[in-house]
Chain A
Amino acid sequence: MELPQDALWYKDAIIYQVHVRAFYDSTGDGSGDFRGLAQKLDYLQELGINALWMMPFFPSPLRDDGYDISDYRSVHPSYGTLDDFKIFLEAAHQRAIRVIIEMVLNHTSNQHPWFQESRSSLNNPKRDWYVWSETDTRYRGTRIIFLDTELSNWAWDPVSKQYYWHRFFSHQPDLNYDNPAVREEMWNVMKFWLEMGVDAFRLDAVPYLVEREGTNCENLPETHQIMKDFRARLDREFPGRMFLAEANQWPADLRPYFGDGDEFHMAFNFPLMPRMFMGLKLEDRKPITEILQQTPAIPENCQWCLFLRNHDELTLEMVTDIERDYMYDEYAREKSMRLNLGIRRRLAPLLDNDRRRMELMNGILMSLPGTPIIYYGDEIGMGDNVNLGDRNGVRTPMQWDGGWNGGFSAADPEALYSPLMLNPVYGYQAVNVQSQKRFEHSLLSWTKRIIKARKSLPVFGRGTIEFLYPANHRVLAYVRQFGKDTILVVNNLSNSAQAVELDLRPYKGNILIEMFGRNPFPRIGDLPYLLTMGPYQFYWFRLRRI
């Protein structure tokens, strides 16, 4: 199978986010690796995804699970070799699965040779590769991101006797993007992987590249210019590849990352995600529709990336204080579930392991405008372990079967990089791929079906959206259109049955064909279209004029 050659492939993508370490261990050392990941590509192909995003796999002291990189041009030994990666990449492409890798632009590990050189003396050629200061008072007022662990964005370096800037952990010094040499080297790093065949980069922490006094050091014009320069080079030298921005910002601040279609191809829709959870708990579409009303239009060649959960905490940075308190009270009653300004839980526990709610949320994820991402394990309803530190509770080994180590690894259980989930509800014996494959109506089987339905029409990835605002605020309804295809999506956010009347007069004369069962519903006439819906039920209707 060949990769479809479409410059806008990312608009039709279904992305699967995976942590190499957590997926499958082929060597029996207790940690997942690229050979293991390659062995599971058939599973992923069968699931229906067509793009794979991997968390950082570079050499790293692993103090931030790989986001602290000490060598950009290699693979961490526990994941294999560069050749293993190349073999995996080729195998993925053969299955028409594109590969997105992390590129942590903003900072490195303090173990990176660049930093080791930079700190070694004030005169080192790489001194200016990082942001140094005599005092810790510059850029005052810049918010601290890792509130639970960091007291300042400056850290004292006893070697060079100066402070260095870090927006994340203190062992992750920020690179100095005012230095052309840094920019050139980071392009060369990206080029290294692009030449190998990598399809895209998820660029981590992009809002923080540049600092300026008197600003909040986020989303600065200089940062955007740097990204535009990278994009221009990408388009010139590697057309068809893609940049995905990780910028946890309000909609108005996110929009500039798309530029005029000349900066990032995609960006995560961070403001929408917590509001999907909020709308579900409130049983009210208001948080969802309001944030989307505030979300500016993006260039035609750009795309939002939608997600429910990922490897980080469910971030509550981009909500109001009232909303954050509400989310904590409803989704993270125990303080141990809270981290920084977020909630470190997986999808299934967040939704009380309610199959109906999981289906509904995935249905919304797959039908709103944007490219959906499935976090590994959520397709089978994996649970979390808040007793593991930091965000490790949502990064436990993938559960393949009910046998030894859940089928993840042949190693002794004590040698695993992380304990498996063991409790009777979410433990690997209860929740695993093998058992769910056997049943037509398992969550895994259902996920395959909805992915298939989503991929059956380009309207989901490329179409417009028009919200309907029925008087019943518990129902979230919208119409997607692209070319000749029109889809009506109706979601009941409530845990009780609902009746809703939709004004479908603009579509009068069309018959509604429910997309999963392919059964026809009555023709649209002049009167409000009455639908009755079970708890958390949703419909995808294709409108046909027959």
Chain B
Amino acid sequence: MPEETILTDDFLRELINVGEVDILIGVPTYNDAKTVGQVVQAIRAGLLKYFPRQRAVIVNADGGSRDGSQELVRAASISDLQHASHVYALRTLHCVSTEYSGGPSSSVALHTILAAAELLQASSCAVVAPDSTNIEPGWIESLLRPVTRDGFDLVTPVYRRHKFDGLLIRNLLYPMNRALYLRRVREPYPLDFAFSGRLATHFLGQDLWSQEAGRIGAEIYLTISAIAGGFRLAQSFLGPRAHVEYAASDLVVAMRRSVGVLFWSLEQNGSVWQTQAQSQPIPTIGPDHELSAEPLRVNPKRLHEMFVRGVAELEPVLKSILSQATLAELQRAASLPEEDFRYSDELWVRTAYEFASAYHKAVISRDHIVQALVPLYRGKAHTFLLENRDASSEEVESNVERLCVTFERRKPSLLEMWDGRK
């Protein structure tokens, strides 16, 4: 049976025409015509300004757009085919596009981009989200220079965010990933990032692409894979990231892609995370945190309601995941009026680790386990909003750091649960 190939014949032909490159920038799209044109123009400007001599290509992996997203990306190419182009460039800049099969999936898009990077022997690569409307040409330098000049293998972003933006990252992904994998990566599930050709080849060879994790959460696994593989990590300050409004149902998808894959990764990388060492910072270009003052609408009351309902409706499920003590404490908290409700760091960390352990033991369907965490996370998010409502930038950072320290301090409990001692 022939091995499945991710590169269609037409796309392969395009890549052959591109030839070997120094820099590859991937842009995954799915009906992003409203924003991708602006994003690609900024990428192009960044390449022309900061890497004018490098052989570069923009690769668009599209999930089946019907709004002209692919055409917008292709239109950014610079070549002698466009007579009297108004953009000056020393060399040709190819912009190629392919539609991958199976419907929109950022992981499949990343897989396609990685395959193209390896084929073209790109030594430095980046991925830029199609809705990064705050992108400036300088992002390209900030992401790629640590790879091209300083030899880093993975460069994750640091954004200037509103203190209530990126709550899942602040309250779960960053602290938990930091405690487990011992690297203080602020955005472990990056949407805009850079990586070396070395890491691309390594990641392509990982045994995840035929599994669920490879279909839904390749981005976070890239970070974990880089850490586990001993690659050099750095993070680079980019600036503000435009806030994107998500529907409530999007959180379930986000949890599957991020937390679900994080839990799954623990089974693949036991020798890496099963240690009691302390986490280490990674080289950071620019500030490692910065808060935006732009106002952001939040609805803590709704979060509390969803938490309370979740605890009640999912009691049978939670019973099979959580310890009696943890569940009892959660139920006590859920019975309190909103103004008195607090989801302490200790309780939250115990919750997260017990869920991770339950996932490992597959006490029930793993997907149900991940879904069951959603309302509990909402409770934690509610507490974060209230605690930081009037907090300064330093206070918010201090609170996040406190949570991180709690995750690290409580890690032995996960180790005990993991190997059945508890």
A residues engaging B (CB < 8 A)? 278, 282-287, 289-290, 293, 320, 322-323, 326, 469-474, 494, 496, 498-501
Within 8 A of A (CB), among B1-26: 13-14, 16-17, 19-20
Please tell me which one of the listed residues A284, A326, A494 contacts residue B92 in the complex, with CB atoms under 8 A apart: A284
B112-143 toward A: CB 8 Å interface, digit per residue (1/0)?
A: 00000000000000000000000000000000
Residue B186 lies at the interface, judged by CB distance under 8 Å to chain A: no
Please tell me which one of the listed residues B17, B83, B89, B90 contacts residue A471 in the complex, with CB atoms under 8 A apart: B17
Sorted nearest first, the 5 A-B pairs with minimum C-beta distance are A471-B17, A289-B80, A473-B92, A472-B17, A284-B91
* Sample (28) of A-B pairs whose CB atoms are under 8 Å apart: A282-B53, A282-B91, A284-B91, A284-B92, A285-B80, A286-B91, A286-B92, A287-B90, A290-B80, A293-B80, A320-B88, A322-B52, A322-B88, A322-B90, A323-B90, A469-B79, A469-B80, A471-B14, A472-B19, A473-B17, A473-B19, A473-B80, A473-B92, A473-B94, A474-B19, A494-B19, A499-B16, A501-B13
Name the distance in Å between B218's Cβ and chain A's nearest Cβ. Answer: 29
Interface-central residue, B55, B79, B84, B94, by most chain A CB under 10 Å: B79
- Which residue on A lies nearest to B19, using beta carbons? A474
Chain B residues with Cβ below 8 Å from A293 are: 80, 83-84
Residue B81 lies at the interface, judged by CB distance under 8 Å to chain A: yes
- Which residue on A lies nearest to B53, using beta carbons? A326
Complexed CA–CA distance, A232 and B125 (Å): 62
Name the distance in Å between B155's Cβ and chain A's nearest Cβ. Answer: 26
Given contacts A284-B92, A498-B19, contact A473 B84 (CB under 8 A): no
- B90 contacts A326, C-beta separation under 8 Å: yes
State the total of A-B contacts with C-beta under 8 angstroms: 53
Beyond A286-B80, A473-B17, A473-B91, 17 additional pairs, beta carbon < 8 A: A282-B90, A282-B91, A289-B80, A290-B80, A322-B52, A326-B53, A471-B17, A472-B16, A472-B17, A473-B79, A473-B80, A473-B92, A496-B19, A496-B20, A498-B19, A499-B16, A501-B13
Complexed CA–CA distance, A498 and B17 (Å): 8
Name the distance in Å between A31's Cβ and chain B's nearest Cβ. Answer: 43
B67-98 toward A: CB 8 Å interface, digit per residue (1/0)?
A: 00000000000011101100011111010000
Chain A residues with Cβ below 8 Å from B90 are: 278, 282, 286-287, 322-323, 326
Name the distance in Å between B93's Cβ and chain A's nearest Cβ. Answer: 10
- Which residue on B lies nearest to A282, using beta carbons? B91
Name the distance in Å between A296's Cβ and chain B's nearest Cβ. Answer: 13
Name the distance in Å between A400's Cβ and chain B's nearest Cβ. Answer: 41
Complexed CA–CA distance, A474 and B21 (Å): 12
Chain A residues with Cβ below 8 Å from B52 are: 322
Chain A residues with Cβ below 8 Å from B79 are: 286, 469, 473
Complexed CA–CA distance, A287 and B13 (Å): 24
- Which residue on B lies nearest to A498, using beta carbons? B19
B53-64 toward A: CB 8 Å interface, digit per residue (1/0)?
A: 101000000000
Chain B residues with Cβ below 8 Å from A282 are: 53, 90-91
Complexed CA–CA distance, A472 and B17 (Å): 4
Complexed CA–CA distance, A320 and B48 (Å): 15
Complexed CA–CA distance, A289 and B92 (Å): 11
- Which residue on A lies nearest to B78, using beta carbons? A286
- Which residue on B lies nearest to A293, using beta carbons? B83
- Chain B, interface size category, equals 20 to 34
Name the distance in Å between A282's Cβ and chain B's nearest Cβ. Answer: 5
- B81 contacts A469, C-beta separation under 8 Å: yes
Chain B residues with Cβ below 8 Å from A498 are: 19
Name the distance in Å between A324's Cβ and chain B's nearest Cβ. Answer: 11
Interface-central residue, B13, B17, B20, B80, by most chain A CB under 10 Å: B80
Complexed CA–CA distance, A472 and B96 (Å): 12
Name the distance in Å between A498's Cβ and chain B's nearest Cβ. Answer: 7
Complexed CA–CA distance, A326 and B16 (Å): 26
B20-62 toward A: CB 8 Å interface, digit per residue (1/0)?
A: 1000000000000000000000000000000011010000000
Complexed CA–CA distance, A501 and B17 (Å): 9
Name the distance in Å between B83's Cβ and chain A's nearest Cβ. Answer: 6
B158-176 toward A: CB 8 Å interface, digit per residue (1/0)?
A: 0000000000000000000
Chain B residues with Cβ below 8 Å from A285 are: 80
- A470 contacts B84, C-beta separation under 8 Å: no
Chain A residues with Cβ below 8 Å from B53 are: 282, 326
- Which residue on B lies nearest to A475, using beta carbons? B17
Name the distance in Å between B52's Cβ and chain A's nearest Cβ. Answer: 6
Complexed CA–CA distance, A282 and B92 (Å): 9
Chain B residues with Cβ below 8 Å from A284 are: 91-92
Complexed CA–CA distance, A516 and B110 (Å): 47
Chain A residues with Cβ below 8 Å from B88 are: 320, 322
Complexed CA–CA distance, A284 and B90 (Å): 9
Chain A residues with Cβ below 8 Å from B84 are: 293
Chain A residues with Cβ below 8 Å from B91 are: 282, 284, 286, 473
Chain A residues with Cβ below 8 Å from B94 are: 473
Interface-central residue, A285, A286, A326, A494, by most chain B CB under 10 Å: A286
- Which residue on B lies nearest to A289, using beta carbons? B80
Name the distance in Å between B46's Cβ and chain A's nearest Cβ. Answer: 16
Complexed CA–CA distance, A323 and B91 (Å): 10
Complexed CA–CA distance, A278 and B53 (Å): 11
Chain B residues with Cβ below 8 Å from A500 are: 17
- Which residue on A lies nearest to B20, using beta carbons? A496
Name the distance in Å between B146's Cβ and chain A's nearest Cβ. Answer: 23
Name the distance in Å between B349's Cβ and chain A's nearest Cβ. Answer: 54
Chain A residues with Cβ below 8 Å from B16 are: 472, 499
Chain B residues with Cβ below 8 Å from A286 are: 79-80, 89-92
Complexed CA–CA distance, A526 and B127 (Å): 38
Name the distance in Å between A63's Cβ and chain B's nearest Cβ. Answer: 38
Complexed CA–CA distance, A499 and B13 (Å): 10
Chain B residues with Cβ below 8 Å from A290 are: 80
Complexed CA–CA distance, A473 and B88 (Å): 16
Complexed CA–CA distance, A7 and B91 (Å): 41
- Which residue on B lies nearest to A329, using beta carbons? B53
- Which residue on A lies nearest to B48, using beta carbons? A322
- Which residue on B lies nearest to A291, using beta carbons? B80
Chain A residues with Cβ below 8 Å from B14 are: 471
- B17 contacts A470, C-beta separation under 8 Å: yes
Name the distance in Å between B125's Cβ and chain A's nearest Cβ. Answer: 20
Complexed CA–CA distance, A326 and B81 (Å): 23
Name the distance in Å between A482's Cβ and chain B's nearest Cβ. Answer: 24
Chain B residues with Cβ below 8 Å from A322 are: 52, 88, 90
Chain B residues with Cβ below 8 Å from A283 are: 19, 55
Complexed CA–CA distance, A143 and B59 (Å): 45
Name the distance in Å between A284's Cβ and chain B's nearest Cβ. Answer: 4
Name the distance in Å between B255's Cβ and chain A's nearest Cβ. Answer: 43
